[in-house]
Copies of this chain bind each other. A is one copy, B any other.
Amino acid sequence: MADFHKYSSVEIFLGGRSYDIEVCDGFLKGLRGIVFKDGFRAVVVTNDVVAPIYLEFLISQLKLSFSNVDSILLPDGEIHKSWDSLNLIYEYLLENHCDRQTVLFALGGGVVGDITGFAAATYMRGIQFVQVPTTLLAQVDSSVGGKTAINHPLGKNMIGAFHQPIKVICDLSSLQTLPKRELSSGLAEVIKYGPILDMHFFRWLECEMGELVATDRTALAYAIHRCCEIKASIVSQDEKESGLRAILNFGHTFGHAIEAGMGYGVWLHGEGVAAGMVMAAELSRRLGMVDEAFVKRLTKLIERAGLPTKGPVLDAADNAGRYLELMRVDKKSEGGEIRFVLIDGPGKAVLRAAPDALVREVIDACCA
């Protein structure tokens, strides 16, 4: 394997909002190249699980660049991806007279990244922020591309903004302490990139899944690098999801219904996406777009990643009806019609609607 597996960089091209994703061991290399004017201050936003492991180290590194470094601790978990947590950040910033020369650092997983990004998008109409994702899921997906959000009691990620970070720093060493279930959840988003765009990468994953599950650093470094490369290319073409970018939501329409239907946090995001990808693949098959061999191949890889391949029963009386109800609030919906990311032959994704009756059949076949 080439040397870049220890330290590599991927650029997202967005004109004046371009930035690098640094994949490295330790934060310090990742912080290289960020230069702020005098007077800028850093505020690290993290949670009570990540803080004991990384906060002190990150602060010591930031003190080399900033004279003023503070931190805010949020409660951990998807149920805290809420207005209340967001307001903790606003209150801290206002009470401490933080102005537009403040840079937020999001240290944690997707929840911390999404809330912090949305705080940065909306505090004083927008300040700078850096993503320091510490989970695989955040490193390969949520921290890259500028989607920020909080959940609303009536829908996941319904309140948010597009706001690009000025840098993403993926520290490989943070994955060594990640719980197995969280690692698997991240692998769901890794696997996703295969069916929608790159079956060579999918083939590589089939060879290396054992190493990835065992947190082999070289394998993880390549997987993260490649996922970021694919995502960067898509985001550069369609920053605000007017078309192409929606394919990154493969498995997510069903997945969001699972997360919402079970209550946020019961199923991890990647677990919902995993079962959701099987459902979306099966729906694609029933529409004649892929064959059964592909669905089996995908299902097997998902299983090897330690992920569920069947969706949960959300309602014993009318399970499919409940899924459909939850899926109608999806952001990809148009005029009440659910639009699915489907696989039109392995390696190619399309966005389209499907007859309710067929979707019901798929849900019935894919839940247990």
Contacts and interface: CB of A to CB of B under 8 A. Distances in A.
B99 A333 contact: yes
A124 interface: yes
A39 B335 contact: yes
Nearest to A124: B331
B152 A329 contact: no
Contacts of A83: 83, 87
A92 to B, nearest CB: 10
Contacts of A124: 158, 160, 331
| Residue with the highest number of chain B CB atoms closer than 10 Å, among A100, A124, A335 | A124
**For this complex, into which size category does the number of interface residues on chain A fall?**
35 or more
A126 B97 CA distance: 28
Interface string A292-333: 000000000000000000000000000000000000110101
Contacts of A331: 99-100, 124-125
Contacts of A101: 334-335
Interface in A122-142: 122-126
A331 B97 CA distance: 10
Contact of A334 (B99, B121, B152, B335): B99
A95 B154 contact: yes
Interface of A: 39, 83, 87, 90-91, 94-95, 97, 99-101, 121-126, 147-149, 152, 154-155, 158-162, 240-241, 328-329, 331, 333-336
5 contacts: A95-B154, A97-B329, A100-B331, A124-B158, A125-B148
